[in-house]
């Protein structure tokens, strides 16, 4: 319920009497409920969880601090009754959590109460507690083992999709609920695609192969990227890989609490720009990870949010050269009181595999 108290402090700040929570990640974070549908409604005194018939028993077990209300009709019908009984007049909602159609319908059905957009609910998830970091760490360990396992498959003649499938099977067999996102395996010229899905391409000698993968444990995700080269590394392979590795190492050494996401990004970006490849690093240095694989804060040229101990972020510089290939190296780190600590243990030296 400490998380609910934090939400109530936000409600006071935004001048709303209640907060309607619909986004799955926020709902789970606040209530513990893992079902796929439902609304949480938090007031100064009440913590309510509205679910349909499928989830009544599950919600009672997973959200013991909440009063579970069964919605026998549409959610909006039950919600309107709850709001009317309590005489609520200003109800906050996640500004990115309702579709326009839902906002329009809820606004009409909950009248005379006013719906007030609140844009900071996700921020309550940014700093992780010990239990959350433990779950993420377990997800990282499974992904690390999957990379070690699949290295034996990375050789000329193997199809990208076969590698991705084997990684998913391995992670599931070793304790993952599922993969955190669609596994990326991009080889040769396709490694220049930052989010190149595993395709039917056959790995060839001289390819860079980029793998981006993660596992889910108890709802929390991991995210890792490694790039290897097949058979023999050319001077260009070594140059590009060395620049990206140096950029990541300097970022890992420099990231600390009190730094903005923009400042963290600049540490790695300067290394790549000074080497003459600034235009080939088109994405941010990283992003928060937790119940969602992409959450705040970001490490990017536009992020002014300040890093704080307990935040978990990726550090993933890259260089992408269309028509030739690319490199990305990504670790998952937790911000500590005096710097950051990498959770990822998969090797980062340039691996030449045959």
pLDDT in tens, 249-276: 999 999 999 999 999 999 999 999 999 9
Over residues 68-89, the pLDDT tens digits come to 999 988 899 999 999 999 999 9
d(CA 269, CA 320): 14
Over residues 204-214, the pLDDT tens digits come to 999 999 999 99
Q: What angle do CA 188, 189, 194 make, to 5 degrees?
A: 100
- For residue 76, the 8-state DSSP code is H
The residues with which 48 forms a beta bridge, in sequence order, are 41, 67
Q: How far is CA 101 from the centre of its chain?
A: 27
Coil, strand, or helix at residue 259? coil
Q: How far is CA 178 from the centre of its chain?
A: 14
Q: Which domains does the chain have, with CATH numbers?
A: 2-124 (3.40.350.10), 130-353 (3.90.230.10)
Residue 97 has pLDDT above 90, yes or no: no
Helices (H), the chain: 2-14, 24-31, 56-62, 75-86, 100-109, 130-150, 160-173, 235-254, 261-274
Strand 18-21 versus strand 90-94 pairing type: parallel
Q: Which residues contact 203 (CB under 8 A, 6 or more apart)?
A: 154, 155, 156, 157, 158, 159, 160, 187, 188, 209, 230
Coil, strand, or helix at residue 150? helix
Phi first, then psi, for residue 113 (nearest 5°) are -65, 145
Arithmetic mean of pLDDT over the chain: 97
User: For the residues of 36-60, what is the DSSP string, one character each?
Assistant: SS-EEEEESS-EEEEE-GGGHHHHH
Q: Which residues contact 315 (CB under 8 A, 6 or more apart)?
A: 248, 251, 252, 255, 268, 285, 286, 299, 330, 331, 333, 340
Q: Model's pTM, two decimal places?
A: 0.95
Task: Please say whether the dihedral angle defined by the alpha carbons of residues 98, 101, 106 and 112, taken in this order, is positive or negative.
Answer: positive
Residue 12 has pLDDT above 80, yes or no: yes
Over residues 129-154, the pLDDT tens digits come to 999 999 999 999 999 999 999 999 99
């Amino acid at each position: 319920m400490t998380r609910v108290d934090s939400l109530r402090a936000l409600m006071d700040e935004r001048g709303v009497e209640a907060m309607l929570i619909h986004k799955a990640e926020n709902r789970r974070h606040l209530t513990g409920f893992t079902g796929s549908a439902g609304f949480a409604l938090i007031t100064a005194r009440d913590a309510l969880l509205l679910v349909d018939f499928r989830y009544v028993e599950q919600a009672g077990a997973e959200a013991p601090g909440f009063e579970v209300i069964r919605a026998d009709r549409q959610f909006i019908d039950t919600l309107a009754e709850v709001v009317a009984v309590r005489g609520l007049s200003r109800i906050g909602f996640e500004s990115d959590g309702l579709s326009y159609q839902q906002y329009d319908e809820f606004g009409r059905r909950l009248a005379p109460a006013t719906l007030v957009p609140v844009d900071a609910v996700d921020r309550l998830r940014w700093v992780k507690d010990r239990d959350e970091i433990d779950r993420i760490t377990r997800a990282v360990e499974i992904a690390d083992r999957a990379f070690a396992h699949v290295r034996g498959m990375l050789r000329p003649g193997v199809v990208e999709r076969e590698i991705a499938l084997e990684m998913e099977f391995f992670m599931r067999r070793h304790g993952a609920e599922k993969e955190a996102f669609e596994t990326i395996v991009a080889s040769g010229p396709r490694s220049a695609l930052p989010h190149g899905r595993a395709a039917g391409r056959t790995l060839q000698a001289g390819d860079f192969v980029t793998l981006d993968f993660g596992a889910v444990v108890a709802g929390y995700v991991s995210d890792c990227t490694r790039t290897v080269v097949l058979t023999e590394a050319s001077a260009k392979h070594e140059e590009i890989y060395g620049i990206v590795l140096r950029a990541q190492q300097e970022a890992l050494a420099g990231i600390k609490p009190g730094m903005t996401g923009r400042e963290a990004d600049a540490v790695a970006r300067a290394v790549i720009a000074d080497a003459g490849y600034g235009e080939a690093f088109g994405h941010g240095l990283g992003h928060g990870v937790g119940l969602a694989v992409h959450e705040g804060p970001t490490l990017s040229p536009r992020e002014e949010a300040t890093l704080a101990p307990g935040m978990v972020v990726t550090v993933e510089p890259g260089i992408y050269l269309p028509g030739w290939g690319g490199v990305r190296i990504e670790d998952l780190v937790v911000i500590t009181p005096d710097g950051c600590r990498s959770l990822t243990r998969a090797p980062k030296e340039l691996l030449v595999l045959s």
